[in-house]
Amino acid sequence: SNSVITNCYIHDVGGRGAVGTSGSICEFTHFANGTKTFTQAAFIPITRNCTFSLTGASDGIMFNANEIIEGNDIWSDGGTGSGIYKGGSNKHFAVCRNKIVEGFSGVGGIGIDLSDGTSVSSYGGNAVYDNTTGINASSLVHKDFGDNETLTASAFTDAANGDFIPVDTDNIKQGAL
């Protein structure tokens, strides 16, 4: 059934943090690893304006077909997973926009991974910093709105301590997501 997850704090969960079926929404929620770590923090069709504090091999957001992933801030402490990745096969018509992904700097860490060979309908306004691979967008992108960039410094005030307020960095402006 459809789920709505809003204004929640999901912490110290092993496995998947939040899962939803078609039509489910997760917004304004904070995901954080504790003594247990996520395999995937969020696997929900519409994930908007959430924050993620991850470690180890945790992945932030996995998405598939007909999904909207917008305005999320994802930080990892040297993680080896992916901030956002497109999973599965024969998936398409996904939206991946306006995210900041930082700190997947461990071996194999990827900020935004759209490399599974399938298509993304809308992509743009994404920023990455301090990832082993910043953006891997070899999938077919139907509409690339541009402004996908690798930042020269962190865009967060102090993400390690939960402060995701943007600071002036390249095209990221303080107080604006």
pLDDT in tens, 73-85: 999 999 999 999 8
Contact 62, 81 (CB under 8 A): no
Task: Please report which residue ranges of the chain form alpha helices under DSSP H.
Answer: none
Q: Which of 55, 51, 49, 104 is nearest to 82 (CA)?
A: 104
User: Residues 113-121: what's their mean pLDDT?
Assistant: 74
pLDDT at 101 over 50: yes
Measured between alpha carbons, how far is 132 from 78 in angstroms, rounded to an integer? Answer: 9
- Three-class SS state of 161: helix
Least confident of 34-43, 112-121, 160-169: 112-121
